[in-house]
Structure 1
Amino acid sequence: MARIVISENVSVDGVVEVGDGFDRGDWYGRIGATDREAWAKLEYDEALGADALLLGRRTYEWFGARGWPSRSGAWADRLRELPKYVVAGETDLGRWANSTVLTGPVTEAVTALKREVRGEIVVYGSGRLARALLAAELVDELRLVTYPFVVGAGERLFGATDAVRSLGLADTRTVGENLALLTYRPA
């Protein structure tokens, strides 16, 4: 059975997505070259360890709009070869090879996917999907790359919850000079 791993970039105050023109790419642009190199290596290594990607529609389209389906380089090649499962209603899958839309209720579709895939299914971005998976207790690991700034407002990974869910800290690591990777697993 596969393990669901949520991999998120998050501000110190817990924001994963900000509206009004400040998107994920802006996070990367606000850190220094050493941090960018270390972050890119971390992401590439994570992709090497993944057996599949699970994405929400907006994140899938975000990758497509930034040219990832046709980029060159080892990281882009690895993402292109990985099976990609998209939780979406209407999405143009023609952009990125090895992409499949999951149908039906999200929790049922992801539960079935966990039975089919072996190894790690990594969820990049996809805040709404990540929250749904967390609420359904389908997440096996959280990897939070914490960026050294406070955003103040925006979409958070953890919103209102119906119950306290305990997590255990599995690992901490400095990435570059200013980023922190915090890895949690359900307690």
Structure 2
Amino acid sequence: MGKIIISENVSLDGVVQDPTGEEGFNRGGWFLQMGDKDREAWTKLALDEALGAEALLLGRRSDEWFAARWLSRSGEWADRLNSMPKYVVSSTLQEPKWSNSTAFKGRVLTGDVVDEVSKLKQELDGDIVVYASIQLVHMLMEHDLVDELRLTMFPVVLGAGKLLFAELSDKKPMRLINTRTVGDSLAFLTYQPVRDG
């Protein structure tokens, strides 16, 4: 059985908006401010995660963003990302942009997508990793489909911006299962949902 893994880069105050500064958010670009040692350690962390994943699950905009950046690259990390299976959730997408992708038709907030993701978890063995895709992350959390959260915390407080978990209808208890320092100043935190029973 597959596990849905949410893997996100976040500020200390939980902001995920515009980490690379390309969206025009006046507090964006915080991801690019890490030092060389942090960047090298983060890259190894991301490569290891990709090598250990069975598939990616993405929203349409994330599919487009990653495809634009990774399809032209080569090397171990790019080759792994470009070749692994990807499942893209969208109500409007006709053809996913990134290689080796399958589109799930339907709105992120409809039962169709919940059913499709539940089936995907049954069909695949291993980690199904979600990068970015914040609307999809909210839906997965809302419907208790997430098996693990992997948060890379960046040492910056933005004070404004889109939060990772701003739109949940109820609390979601989590259990911390691992912490580690990445480079000089990043924290990598791993959580699992606390389920009833």
TM range (shorter): over 0.9
Greater Cα shift, 136-145 or 110-119: 110-119
1:94: Cα distance to partner? Answer: 6.0
1:154: Cα distance to partner? Answer: 1.2
CA RMSD of aligned residues (A): 1.8
| Equivalent residue, structure 2, for 1:37 | 40
1:149: Cα distance to partner? Answer: 0.4
| Equivalent residue, structure 1, for 2:2 | 2
Distance 1:186 1:48 in 2: 24
Q: Where do 1:10-89 residues align within 5 Å?
A: 10-18=10-18, 21-22=24-25, 26-66=29-69, 68-89=70-91
Distance 1:83 1:160 in 2: 29
* Moved beyond 4 Å, runs of 4+: none
Instruction: Tell me if the contact between 1:69 and 1:95 (Cα under 8 Å) persists in the aligned partners.
Output: no
Q: 1:94 to 1:88 in 2, by over 3 A?
A: closer
Q: Which runs of 5+ in 1 are unaligned?
A: none
Instruction: Tell me if the contact between 1:171 and 1:183 (Cα under 8 Å) persists in the aligned partners.
Output: yes
| Equivalent residue, structure 2, for 1:91 | 93
Q: 1:22 to 1:72 in 2, by over 3 A?
A: farther
Distance 1:172 1:185 in 2: 12
Decide which of 136, 142, 147 is 1:129's aligned counterpart.
Answer: 136
1:52-104: per-residue Cα shift (whole Å, max 9, x none)? 000111111111222x0121110000001110000013336464221000124
Greater Cα shift, 103-112 or 47-56: 103-112
1:89-143: per-residue Cα shift (whole Å, max 9, x none)? 3336464221000124221111111111111100001111011100100000000
Give secondary structure in 2 for the equivalent of 1:15.
coil
Give secondary structure in 1 for the equivalent of 2:45.
helix
| Count, aligned residues | 185
TM-score where L is the length of structure 2: 0.88
Q: 1:55 to 1:94 in 2, by over 3 A?
A: closer
Q: 1:69 to 1:93 in 2, by over 3 A?
A: farther
1:22: Cα distance to partner? Answer: 4.3
Distance 1:112 1:50 in 2: 17
Distance 2:74 2:185 in 1: 28
